[in-house]
Amino acid sequence: MRHTLATFLTLVLLWALVAQGNHALSNLRVYLFVGGLFVTYAALMLPWRAGLATSLLGGLLCDANAPVAFGTHLLLFAAAFAVLWHLRDRLPREDTVARVIVALLANLALFLVFSFTQIGGSPVPAIAWPRLIGDLVCSQICLALIAPWFFALQHRALLLARAERENLA
């Protein structure tokens, strides 16, 4: 429970910061999507139940603030969590660089799948893709920059909630 709550609060903070970033970037028509960060730490570092619960709560948080069918982010994050959990023993998950790479790959996959689910209503879908690719590039750069800080924040939040021991850093 502590794992879930502490990690979920960091996800709320991430969501708020990214929303402010998107607000500031709106006049440039650039949008940041960092869905990969909502699942990576939970899947690589947390116990099974706590990680899954955190990812699902993160999905609900995104769903409530997006004009999509409720559950879209939830199911996508659950799928990403399942894949990452399946791979986690084969990954050097204690290494920050490896975590960042995993987050980038997860974000790429989530962005593409999400785009395919949303682009159907566009009057000219072919024209929408350059914009989406631009957003994806900006999102990946942003994610690579903030991921080390965010993983450290999540770890510190767990320490603060006394849900994690220091030597597991």
Partner 1 sequence: MPFRRLATAKPFVTLGLVVAAWIVVPVTIKTLARASFYELTAPITVVASYARDLQQYWSLRLHSNGELIEAGRDLARLNASYEFAVQQNTEMQAEIARLEGLLRLPAFANYRLEHVRVASRDFSGWWQRIVIRKGKNFGLPVGAPVIFTGGVVGRVTEVHAATAVVELLTSQNVRLAGVVEGDTRPISYQGGLNPTFGPPRGVVEFVPLDVFASAAAPKRLVTSGLGGVFPPGLTIGEITHVDLSSDGLFKTGEVKLDERLGSVAEVTVLVPLTPE
List of residues contacting partner 1 (CB under 8 A): 12, 15-16, 19-20, 22-23, 25-31, 33, 48, 52, 56, 60-61, 63-68, 70-71, 74-75, 78-79, 81-83, 85-86, 114-115, 118-119, 121-124, 127-128, 130-132, 134-135
Nearest residue (CB) to partner 1, 131 versus 169? 131
The nearer residue to partner 1, 52 or 100, going by C-beta atoms, is 52
H or E element that contains 42: helix 35-45
Instruction: Fill in the DSSP letter of residue 92.
Output: -
For residue 130, the minimal CB distance to partner 1 (Å) is: 7
Closest distance to partner 1 from the beta carbon of 162 (Å): 24
Q: Say whether 18 sits in a helix, a strand or coil.
A: helix
- Specify the residue, 16 or 145, whose C-beta has the smaller distance to partner 1: 16
Q: HSE-up of 39 (CA within 13 Å, CB side)? A: 32
Query: Would the CA dihedral through 105, 138, 134, 26 be positive or negative?
Result: positive
Q: Which is nearer to partner 1, 50 or 61 (CB)?
A: 61
Whether the CA torsion 7, 10, 16, 17 is positive or negative: it is negative
